[in-house]
Structure 1
């Protein structure tokens, strides 16, 4: 732009000043979305599953760039803003092949004014792509509102901004392109560019990055002729002060008060490091294990390590453990399926979502530190992952590029074990600007994993017992047909409490000759698996004797004799009825059970039937 620069103002800003939340989208040759980042979901409001495979022009205000139309044309609900410059020229030097129609990058500004949602102002950059992959356009977009926080009504604005000399001037912004080498830390800008392309293979991301650097780095031009390189930034949370560092050593004072003399620096540092780790383990022990719910326990274990001990923590569990099945058999191998059940980090929000999504099932390749940890059951420490090591590990995984996430980081893998069997493992990583893991950290991580493994095993056993009890109860409940001769039947089993849902209650309906139906309701005293097993035996006996067409009272006497032969602990109440629709007759016998309720169809009136109670099954000696 030609508007002047305030005297004394810098013509370039550091690269960090241009970090903004970005939406990243890749569009294929048919104009359909093939890649939709988390930032795109936040900006445009469409989830990844809804966007992938849909026409990009229906989701974003870049129809003119994708269709190679003339500038200044409105597309659907998006309107270009005449007050903001739309830079269709690259702004950099390039050969003729870069400036032929459809072969150069474009940038612009648009406003989304759909009914039912707030107005959205968007700045965007679109790059044409060539190569073997499906992608034909790379789209970067950002919310323009964040650039006018000083109170302007529009992006051009009569927005007041103070220059370096204190004088105010008008500001206009335009998206444009520039060589990344024009800015400080050009190499750092080039290295950070792959971060915006998560969940892509190294070949695809490398191809796209090379073309972006050749066509021009995305920048914002301000009215005072200032250009800022744009890098992805999802808002890094500030780490709490004083956490993760060592306490300052005490030293003597000269004010006359009695103070403890400071020990030697190396001893004080060692003492502080040990105390810090013990305090951390004590704090973690108090946070985890507060519930026997497996999912909640996993979240507690993973979240407890961030940010005090690590910057990233991911927990993986064996499929059998997560499904609540029995104890896993044997050590894991390359075919073992692991589920990534939770991820916690203090990096930019959304940075890990596409590459290491929660809920993913994966088998880890043999030649990786992850396989080494889960197969040996021992911690694996890599103080600093070099580019060569990070590239080698990333190369073992298809369709994902781990290099921007793991290179130059410190990595610690700790197994989650119970009874010497690996149930899962945790991946812990620290950013390059933090002290790398050392041997003391490995010991701390192993202790954390040992406590977490015990808690997870308790939760796993509880989940397994719940599944077994549910399966047993479901198998015990009858499958009563809704229609039988002369009557309709409806049933419902509703336990009075969660802990008492497995017990000896049962009901049944048995078809008898002569269009008759036998109805049974019983309750073995007590709860738990023993009561359920007793109930199964008594229910089978009732169905067998019902087929003999015994009168209700006689059937209950025979059931009482059987219960006494089975053991002294067999006590149950039972109500047995035989309904004859031909005679309109109902015969009922009661062995200590609560009486039935008769509800009349014509008026809904209910009454409790007055029946001889009788003694419970298993008492014996009583008529």
Structure 2
């Protein structure tokens, strides 16, 4: 014990029984004068009373508590002056764990530690505090005093909550410290509140543990804090970059990407943010401007943290010219982030000018802006614009570490903006190509919900020969075709046009998928022979499918084309197992069709190889990505097309991409009626009456006369010239369809009957009274059909 320390012993009643030499030097009382007196006689005032303590009549203190409180007390020296001492009281236990007395140590409150343990406590860079069981400060080191914003003399005896001030963070520490004292378990906490007199919010990692005496009883608690503000800010920066990865570029739209950027920056990073793009970026067909001394930008997006944040001086969509001394202009000129603060001549001038513009624009002057960060948007070596972030609501300004963070986020946003700009340019080209070569308007039909995308290649090789088509067939069936001609340029585009026409012609004949591909294969072989020198390069792939909404069956045949992907209503997705056929033009090998029965609501994805194939890409991995993308939630089938392209399509596709999505529908039992017909002419009147009654149930009496005549003629012809069994089917959809099937392979032909012919006028009447009619071959027979328009409701 050093010279400035004192020790004394008191019995259980608080009467002095032992007195050290240090106590004599510290208080001036000798052992003869102190021993036998109550310890509280030495106090100049009772703790917390502020008045001189009166001596108790008995000269003793009641049992049950220590004679002096832990912490700081004021003691009366023998010569009369007051001493401020730091007191530590340790109980002495006798038999039965009863308190037999106390050992009291005291030292001047401002005395320096000389022991190694005390030096470690005092000189630790970590704030360390000691509390009694009532959460009052007993001791603090210099770092703790600095963190709390006060001296040890002003803090001793106060509770942590009183000294630090009530806040969410301090209340959390106080609750945890209470739990430490009550349970005797150490705890760890993290607080983000302001502690002490600092203006900025600080982050502290706080460790709290109980203090025990020699018997293991909790007599206090200790707290150590680590200022982790910089680590916390670093985590926030990483979180912001991670959020930028997921929130930027959700759509291939330039303005939407700019809006996503400002939404990311405000309010977590800035009080106000804006994105200004060079004027040519928003014009998909205009090249970048070069050599223009005036930097013209157009406001694409801006956002404000609230009413106290700055007001914009530039409305959305309007152009603006930055002066050379402004931070945005400097950032565009330097190609890196520029940080400006209040007190800089150019920044103050810029704020004054911009404030006047804002006052004229919206009647409000942006006051209190103390820092601005301007970052250029650069992607693939091209400057697209500038992002501006300012702070005025929060007191802390931008620091040097914020510049690399802003540049990282801006680079990601710039790539997204550039992708959107490229997509807009490619889409404009694709629209022109679609208007000239692809179906401009997909035909109306009820069997499938259709959505499609066509992206032309941006490579120097030119436009390729990818195509798709949707062809309505008889009986509410629909044919879907996707194809790809080998090569690029005008020859491939011309071949694509020929194949499109050929497929429509063959589909109108109502050939099964495998037979249609056989005829198409012959056509490509003939075209290759006509080209002579280009024979090795001429070729094509094709996928042809027919869907019947009545039977819900899908028949698919492929010629060297990737198989379609099938998304079931339960969310499972797989590729349709096709019997692989050779590419068109190879010849010599047959084509086989695959038939599937699908539940209503399936999504079938037809696509060309540009979506899943490419240099350095694994086809199995790409098709797996396609299946995963099809399972992603989307508001509509059209939106699902964008999801698939974004997930599967490479950043710079090297080939054309055609994507056709079809969601299956089914005709209900109330829309289809079937009747077996006996091959007896006497059955015709009953069949006509059945049809008339059915139309009455369907509320289609307006077309009953024509339908009765069509049914009569088709059934009569089937009885006369066909082979049993015979079947009549009526389908109510967008049109009324009448079908008569028999087992004869011979198809009827429309002819004009002569004046003296007894027959030959039935099909002519059917053709005149209906919109269209025809026949289709099937396994073991044929079907004659006729469609008529329904009255408008």
Please confirm whether the aligned pair reaches a TM-score higher than 0.5, indicating the same fold: no
What is the TM-score of this pair, normalised by structure 1?
0.41
Considering fraction of residues, name the structure with more helix: 2
Q: Which structure is richer in relative contact order (CA contacts within 8 A, separation 6 or more)?
A: 1
What is the TM-score of this pair, normalised by structure 2?
0.33
